């Protein structure tokens, strides 16, 4: 018997149900002369699960499958069923040609299934199909204004890896007035050039159990694999051996192993590929054991811009002349500064730098009252710009070392640059809402402080 790809998803989060309209949709699709593969039928059943009241079990449903496996066919079946049941549908895509191609495919399927079409319009960007009985579907390329002022029962987000926050703001309310709304997102894991964050966020929330009305399925590997690992091909490509051939996948292998893992093996990267500091660059500076240190600690304290958290980090010279950095902690400001004062009292410190209008002056006064030396530096905007530039140069020169702390790595590998001042200065901002950039900022301040401290000269004795 010929080998075929796994028909079961590698990750799935489905709300339990007893009834589904997926079987009806699959039979309707079969009237076109084609039948859905086993895995496609499984996704369709879960997507179209209904409650005892006849409402969609999953108000939001997302799924991710690698390219050329036939991920859109289940949406076509869902749309055919919806049109026959009078639904108003909006099908959106990132590119105009994708939206137009979906219109062409559904139009042909409807004709083959014998579903009467009352009216259709095929102009790029304004395609629509109306069927007898009131069902209608419209196709649009996504923008920050698409769909505003209109109401639909079903919203389809094709190429969901490109779905952006401003587009979601414009689209998420268009199904609110429906008596039985549903939003379906389908796509692939984001690559370095993907512009969207919504799909990744939906996946994370569902798999973490943070949603109550959403479902998710995917075919993916958990970590990078050798592109020539054929078993991984079959694990993550359900159409392999059916409509997709091994030679097709083998022809896709190039020197870019990461891209192959994302686009063919469904790998979801845990760091942001758009980060100003790539994970590989930061990981290259990691040491297994803390190196031999030479000198006193330098401390960086950063009060977050939002006034919620404060972070503290340290930096110190190593015996080889590099600078070792480490985060101490990031805590809510409302918890007080006692934890930082306690550390400063007991550590052997060369310099302390405190930044952040929400607490730097108070912290300086508390250090004075506690008789903690040295007197801290409150940097100017110009000095903060310098600290960030010095840190970037040190990264480039590979002059930094770290122990691979998870919290610090998350901050550094999920950051982007932001403008500071009016002369081309820059700082950093977080690319993810749940990561506080103040931890990275405190580390940069500590690093800068360390570069300001003169290296100790060994005393030479001559006779």
For residue 158, what are its two tokens?
């094709």
Per-residue pLDDT at 273: 67
> Where are the strands (E) in 69-153, listed by range?
88-93, 117-121, 128-131, 136-141
DSSP character at residue 244: B
Residue given tokens 């006034």 in the structure block: 307
Residue 291 contacts residue 323 (beta carbons within 8 Å): no
Residue 236, C-beta contacts closer than 8 angstroms, at least 6 positions apart: 5, 6, 10, 66, 219, 220, 221, 264, 265, 266
DSSP string, 162-210: G--HHHHHHHTTTTTT-SS-EEEEEE----TT----HHHHHHHHHHTT-
pLDDT in tens, 270-281: 766 677 898 889
Task: Output phi, psi for 229, to 5 deg.
Answer: -75, 95
Determine whether 358 is exposed, middle or buried from the number of CB atoms within 10 Å of its CB (0-12, 13-18, 19+).
Answer: middle
Per-residue pLDDT at 151: 92
50's enclosing H/E stretch is strand 49-50
β-strand partners of 131: 117
- The stretches of 85-171 forming alpha helices (DSSP H) are 96-112, 165-171
Low-confidence ranges of the chain (pLDDT < 70): 144, 146-149, 192, 271-273, 422, 455-463
pLDDT in tens, 366-381: 999 999 999 999 999 9
Is the CATH number of domain 279-452 3.90.78.10? no
Residue 69 contacts residue 244 (beta carbons within 8 Å): yes
For residue 409, what are its two tokens?
């790595």
Residue 62 contacts residue 214 (beta carbons within 8 Å): yes
What is the per-residue burial (b if ≥16 Cβ within 10 Å, else e) of 34-59? eebbebbbbbbbbbbbbeeeeebbbb
Per-residue pLDDT at 123: 80
**Domains of the chain, residue spans:** 11-263, 279-452
Whether 279-452 and 11-263 are alike in CATH topology: the answer is: no
Q: Looking at the domain covering 11-263, what would its CATH class be?
A: alpha beta
What is the per-residue burial (b if ≥16 Cβ within 10 Å, else e) of 179-199? ebbbbbbbbbbbeeebebbbb
């Amino acid at each position: 018997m010929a080998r075929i790809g796994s028909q079961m998803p590698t990750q799935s989060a489905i709300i339990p149900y007893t009834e589904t309209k997926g079987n009806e949709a699959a039979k309707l699709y079969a009237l076109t002369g084609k039948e859905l593969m086993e895995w496609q039928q499984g996704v369709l059943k879960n997507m179209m699960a209904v409650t005892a009241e006849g409402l969609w079990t999953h108000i939001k449903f997302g799924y991710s499958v690698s390219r050329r496996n036939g991920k859109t066919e289940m949406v076509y079946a869902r749309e055919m069923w919806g049109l026959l049941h009078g639904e108003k549908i909006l099908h959106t895509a990132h590119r105009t040609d994708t939206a137009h191609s979906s219109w062409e495919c559904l139009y042909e399927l409807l004709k083959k299934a014998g579903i009467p079409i009352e009216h259709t319009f095929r102009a790029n960007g304004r395609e629509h199909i109306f069927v007898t009985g009131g069902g209608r579907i419209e196709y649009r390329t996504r923008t920050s204004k698409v769909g505003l002022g209109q109401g639909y029962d079903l919203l389809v987000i094709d190429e969901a890896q490109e779905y952006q926050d401003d587009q979601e703001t414009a689209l998420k309310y268009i199904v609110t007035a429906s008596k039985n709304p549903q939003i379906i997102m389908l796509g692939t894991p984001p690559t370095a050039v993907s512009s969207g964050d919504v799909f990744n966020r939906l996946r994370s929330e569902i798999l973490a159990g943070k949603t109550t009305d959403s479902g998710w399925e995917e075919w993916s590997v958990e970590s990078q694999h050798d592109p020539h690992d054929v078993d991984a091909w079959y694990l993550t490509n359900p159409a392999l051996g059916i409509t997709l051939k091994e030679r097709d996948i083998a022809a896709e292998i190039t020197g870019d192993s990461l891209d192959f893992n994302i686009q063919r093996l469904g790998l979801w990267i845990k760091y942001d590929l758009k980060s100003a500091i790539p994970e590989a660059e930061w990981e290259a500076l990691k040491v297994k054991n803390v190196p031999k240190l030479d000198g006193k600690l330098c401390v960086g304290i950063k009060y977050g811009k939002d006034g919620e958290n404060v972070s503290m980090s340290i930096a110190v010279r190593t015996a080889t002349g590099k600078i070792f950095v480490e985060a101490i902690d990031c805590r809510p400001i409302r918890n007080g500064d006692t934890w930082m004062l306690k550390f400063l009292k007991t550590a052997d410190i060369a310099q302390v730098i405190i930044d952040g209008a929400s607490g730097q002056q108070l912290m300086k006064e508390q250090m004075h009252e506690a008789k903690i030396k040295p007197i801290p530096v409150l940097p100017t905007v110009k000095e903060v710009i310098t600290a960030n530039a010095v840190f970037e140069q040190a990264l480039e020169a590979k002059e930094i070392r770290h122990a691979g702390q998870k919290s610090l790595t998350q901050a550094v590998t999920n950051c982007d640059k932001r403008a500071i001042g009016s002369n081309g200065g820059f700082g950093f901002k977080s690319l993810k809402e749940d990561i506080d950039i103040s931890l990275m900022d405190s580390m940069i301040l500590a690093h800068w402080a360390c570069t300001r401290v003169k290296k100790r000269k060994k005393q030479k004795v001559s006779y």
